[in-house]
Every structure is written in C-alpha cells, then in structure tokens.
Amino acid sequence: MTLRQTFQKPIRVLMILSALIVVTGLVIGWDTDELTMQTAIGQTKDTLQTSEDFQYLERANRAFINLVKQTRPAVVQITTQTKRNQSRAPERLLPDDIYKFFFGPEPDPRREQERDPDPIQGLGSGVIVREDGYILTNNHVIDGVDHITVKLANGREYPAKLVGSDPGQFNRNGGGSDLALLKIDADNLPALQFGDSDALEVGEWVIAIGSPLGLTQTVTRGIVSAKGRDRNSSLVAFGNFIQTDAPINRGNSGGALINIRGELVGINTLIASGGSTMGNIGIGFAIPSNLAQQLMPSLIEDGRVVRGWLGIYMDPVDHDLADKLQFEEPRGVVVESVVQNSPAEKAGIQPRDIILEFDGEVVRDINHLRYTVAAKRVGKPIKIKVLRKGTQEKQLTVKLAERTAEAVARAEGSTIQEDQTESFAGLRVRNLTPSIADRFGYASKETGVIVAEVADDSDAARQGIRPGALIQEIEWEPVDNLDTYIEIVTELKKQNKEKVLLYVKSVDGLRGGYVSGYLTVRVATSDR
C-alpha cells in the first residue's frame, strides 16, 4: 500500500496523527493558535520540596507549629482531690447471707476507721489569662473538691485557690455558665490574650489544647463548626457555645480553644457522644471568650455572677411576621406572657409586644435578648423600645431584678414557696411542668417530681443526686406528680423509716440520653 493510498483512508489518518501527538508530547491549545509541549514526569528540575504548592503547605505547616509554641505554655493541667465519705458503710441491696457468700465477711469497722482511704482524684485543664496567676477553667472540674493543684507546661506545680465560680446547673442563682476562676501564687506567667469570639466565622481554623485522659499539653486542630449553640441546657444554663470538630475528650474540660492569631476564643467545656461511645466524635462545645471575659470581673470581685432578670416568656419573630411588619429580615422578640410582679410587668410590657431594642441595642433574636439581659446590672434603669399592635412604638424603662432560682420558678408560673415541698431526705422537690421538662431536657411524656434543692450535708447529696434530677418512684410506688409525692412521703414519715428507695433519672449532658437507677438514701432524724 502506497503512502498516497494510506492518506486516502480517514481512519488510518486519525490513528497516525494520534500516535504522533503521544510520541512528541504535542498538546494543541484550542483557545490559541499555538502548539505547546507537554512536560513529562521527571523532565522538570523542580522537586516536591521546591514546588510552589509545597511552599504554600510548608508555610501553613510552619505557621501552626509556631502558633502551638506560642500558646501552649499558657494551658495548664488541673488535678483535684476529694476526701471520700467515711461516715457510713456503703449501702447494699443484697441480704447479709448472700452478700457474705459472694464477697466474704465484712471488714472490721474499727480497722476501717483507722485506715485513711485514698481521696478521689479528678482531672481537667485550665488557661492562664493573667500573668499574675489567674486561671480560667470549668466549674464542673473543681466543684465540691477539697484540694486543687495546677501543673504548668514546664512541669512546676502550685496549689490553687478558688476565686469565684458560676455553676452551670440549676441552683440558687438559677444556673450559669459553668466557668470558674482560680489563682496561684506566681508572677510573670505566660498568659493568653482574649480574642473576639463574636468575630469568629464558621469554617475558621482553631486549635484545642488541654490534658485529655491526663495527656498534658495535647494539641488538636479543627474548625469552627457552628456558633450560638445552646445544647445541654440541663448542664449549662448560659453557654451560647461555639461548636468545633477539633478533637476534645475527657480531661480537656477547661482547656483553650485558640484561633490562628494565637488568641483565646473559647473554654472547652462539653462533648457530644452517641450510644456507648465515651470519646470524641467530632462534636465539641466551648464557652465563648467574650462571655468569659465579661464574667471575670464579677468572679474576682464577688466570687459569683449576678445576672439580670426581666420576667417574660418569648416567642421568635419569624419570616411571616417580619414580612407583615415590613422588616427586611426577622429581628426582635414577641412577648408571649409577662410574669406577675416581675420587672417587665412593672415597666408596662404587655403580652404580644415586640421588643425591638434593649438599652439602645437592636434585639436580634431570643438568645440575643436573653444574654443581653443577663449581662446588665441589676437595678439600673434601662430603656426598652417595643412595638405594640404592629404600629405603635413605645419607649419604656425597666429596672432589672436578680436572676435567682425563685425568679426562674416565678417565670414558670409559680414561686418555689408555693410549688416546692418541705425537705425530706435532704431533698426539696417541685412539680414537673412542661416548661421545666423542656429546660432540663426531659421528654414531654415523663412523669415525676423535679429536684429543686439538695442539702449539702445530706445522704442524697453524697449519693450524687443534684438539682434537676427527676424522682419517678419512692419505695416502689410510682410518683406521677407533686400530689402523689406528698402522699407517699407523708406515709413514710408515719412509718419513721431510716432509709428510702428512690428511682431517679437525670439527663446525661455529656453523652446525651438519660442516666437512671435505684438509690437508697438515709432519712435524717429531723425529716422523720
């Protein structure tokens, strides 16, 4: 076959051209009239280390290394010790003969008293926020302990004293942020500067530093996954959490969440875990640095945090209502109801009013107003702008009261004095209303009574019962509500019982779901 015959066959021509392109490495630039040579692997003098992409990666890698070197010395390990209760033998439900068969004879009580049992050890993290030894951590790290020790990054250890705390759980102050402030006797310490947590953006890089499982100075990296999370309200009343996927585990509580500028933007506090998983699943929560910075002066000066209370129930302004009011976007809150004798009622706020501004600041939504009110000074006159009946703007003045457990109870329809029982077995309880069930994270179908107060020196406190727990049975009898509880307790008092069996349920704020079981508690003589 001649060359002329070959080029008369179109298919053969295409095959020949394709082979030429592959052999010579020619690439036709269809957007231009030029032919360019394709550089094959191994034909360039550039190595991986000198490539432009690698240089970008190396600079980012070096930036993170320097960031860790700069910030890690300001993060400390906190260890705690709590004396074990020696006032009584542990309770058991097995008869004596069966107990001795499985576990042998009981130890001699006299020898038990002579032996000093090892204290309960606790572990957490903290952040140095002032060079003169002030350290932020979580209240649940140091709550109820006898001794606190701080270990610096250089290995030196110092005893620490508690300056102030803001318990997260429902208590006499109505619940707070779960922050605590410690002080050690040291100067010229490496301290982290506060960053602006409000300026954080979802997707922004952050690092977490702490002591998970006792592994000091552990560094993990992730991003800001979300902001303004109010998850686990049964554990923390005022969190407004930053959500992050930076791995956080047990022992990280109280540690630092840091932005790429080396600033403290959060105090790592909680993790979410599913099922039997106890560790990190990529969902962690940190208290925003702006909230921590706001509360620090009160913790230093007063040892606690005083929050403002307005006394209203709120509904959101949704898109439909915003359109009706000709707002460009939803803003403000709708007053659903006003608590009797509250600061809101005294100021003239009415149901269905729409609160537009509070102390000169535009109200964005329910959470924004809630945190703004809590941050204001009690008793200070504050201007409020409300919209009434959709058209009438009114300027009102309110003097906030202190947010206490009594104030919170009043907001739920009744005061503690009206709704709460007398103490029995160191416990004061109240009805489980739908609003209380929602606040503590219980399902609407749950029955029982909610624990409002636990006496510090009671057996119930030693057994781990806390405010917010749900009592659903007493001595095998179901507790449907406060009335049945009172009936059962009245009968038990007649029987002069020394111990009672309770079925108690509580929300597991760290892992999700519930923790429940039977507990036997001693009844004080004064309660019989």
Annotated catalytic residue: which of 125, 140, 197, 245?
140
- Eight-state DSSP code of residue 424: B
Nearest-angstrom CA–CA distance, 371 and 218: 32
> Which amino acid is residue 172, in one-letter code?
R
Nearest in space to 184 (alpha carbons), one of 150, 155, 217: 150
For 161-212, the DSSP string reads EEEEEE--SS-TT-----EEEEEES--S---PPBP-GGG--TT-EEEEEE-G
Q: Can 143 be counted among the known catalytic residues?
A: no
Nearest-angstrom CA–CA distance, 201 and 216: 29
Residue 313: CB atoms within 10 Å: 17
Nearest-angstrom CA–CA distance, 163 and 182: 5
Annotated catalytic residue: which of 177, 197, 225, 253?
253
The partner residues of 256 in beta bridges, in order of sequence, read: 209, 267
Q: Can 140 be counted among the known catalytic residues?
A: yes
- From residue 226, alpha-carbon distances to 288, 329, 331, 478, 519 in Å are 12, 21, 20, 41, 39
Residue whose structure tokens are 């953006």: 201
Nearest-angstrom CA–CA distance, 472 and 478: 6
Q: Can 178 be counted among the known catalytic residues?
A: yes
- What's the gap between Cα 134 and its chain centre? 22
Nearest in space to 138 (alpha carbons), one of 122, 155, 114, 154: 122
Residue 174: CB atoms within 10 Å: 20
Annotated catalytic residue: which of 166, 178, 245, 527?
178
Catalytic residue numbers read 140, 178, 253
